[in-house]
Amino acid sequence: MPLFAESDGTFPNHHPDPTVLENLKDLQAAVVQEQAELGIAFDGDGDRIGAVDERGAPVFGDQLLVLFGRDLARRFGPGKPVIFDVKCSEVLPQMLQRAGLVPMMWKTGHSLIKQKMKETGAALAGEMSGHVFFGGDWFGFDDALFAAARLLHYVAREGGPLSRLLADLPRTVSTPELRVDCPDERKFDVVERAARHFAAKYPVSTLDGVRISFAEGWGLLRASNTQPALVLRFEATSARALAAYRGEVEGWLAANGVRA
């Protein structure tokens, strides 16, 4: 059952970004109303995928990568590397390891991900944004239509429903990707100073910006590759911890002249 399948560059229904929850509302409602098995959303140029399960609940890019990873392990065997970007949930590497795969965190950006795939020979990579790259038996680029076909094949083979296939994922609470305006000439300096500040208190990764490991979760602060902005994301085991971690990072930004 297609929704808004006629191309219109004025986007009369909503912007074609499957990572924005507001843009999925029509799809969610249609899946529930039609009692569909699942729903799939594409971005404007067909290289990013979003999904909702049979209950209308959104399924994010890193959750899809868990399913594609399990499918990879079944088809190619264990021990294969899977690349994911710094914005992905901490649940993803845990589940990839459980499937016998080798999780590899890397920088955000589809060109950077594809380059890393070539370097490592990885047969699968993906981003929180919904870019999914299939190597091995495909060509290593981000094709959302192919990803949709893979998803449908996996759900059909496993007997569905999609919610059941994700039911064993540990429950966490997280923010969406948050963007804070910051001039291009300042954003990298802000991230560098944040890295020094938080490294004095917590374990951090500076692979791409600064990813801070808190006791019950993590937070990310990085400079956008394409906009005069900082990108933030947080995940924790409870809403209380999530609010605390977000408040600490946003408080530091405010104290340094960046209002979140």
The string of DSSP codes covering 68-106 is: HHHHHHHHH-SS-EEEEETTS-THHHHHHHHTT-EEEEE
Q: Do the domain assignments include residue 206?
A: yes
Residue 183 sits in the same domain as residue 125 = no
DSSP 234: E
Of 103, 138, 165, the position where a domain reaches its end is 165
> Which is it for the CA torsion 81, 41, 218, 66, positive or negative?
negative
Of 109, 143, 165, the position where a domain reaches its end is 165
Q: What is the pLDDT at residue 175?
A: 95
Pairwise CA distance, residues 233 & 242, whole Å: 10
Q: Are 96 and 105 in contact (CB under 8 A)?
A: no
pLDDT at 132 over 90: yes
Q: What is the pLDDT at residue 215?
A: 98
Q: What is the pLDDT at residue 166?
A: 98
Residue 160 sits in the same domain as residue 66 = yes
Residue 152 sits in the same domain as residue 78 = yes
Pairwise CA distance, residues 223 & 186, whole Å: 9
**Residues 15-69: tens digit of each pLDDT:** 999 999 999 999 999 999 999 999 999 999 999 999 999 999 999 999 999 999 9
Q: Do the domain assignments include residue 41?
A: no
Residue 178 sits in the same domain as residue 158 = no
Q: How confident is the model at residue 134 (pLDDT cuts 50, 70, 90)?
A: very high
Q: Do the domain assignments include residue 21?
A: no
Q: Which residues contact 8 (CB under 8 A, 6 or more apart)?
A: none
Of 124, 139, 165, the position where a domain reaches its end is 165
Q: What is the pLDDT at residue 260?
A: 78
The share of the chain scoring above pLDDT 90, in percent, equals 94
If one counts the domains in the chain, the total is: 2
The DSSP element (H or E) to which 236 belongs, if any, is: strand 229-236
Residue 124 sits in the same domain as residue 189 = no
What CATH number should be reported for the domain holding residue 217?
3.30.310.50
Q: Do the domain assignments include residue 198?
A: yes
**Residues 91-121: tens digit of each pLDDT:** 999 999 999 999 999 999 999 999 999 999 9
Residue 76 sits in the same domain as residue 160 = yes
Pairwise CA distance, residues 218 & 241, whole Å: 10
Q: What is the pLDDT at residue 137?
A: 84
Domain of residue 95: give its range: 61-165
Residue 77 sits in the same domain as residue 135 = yes
pTM, two decimals, is 0.94
Q: Do the domain assignments include residue 28?
A: no
Q: Do the domain assignments include residue 23?
A: no
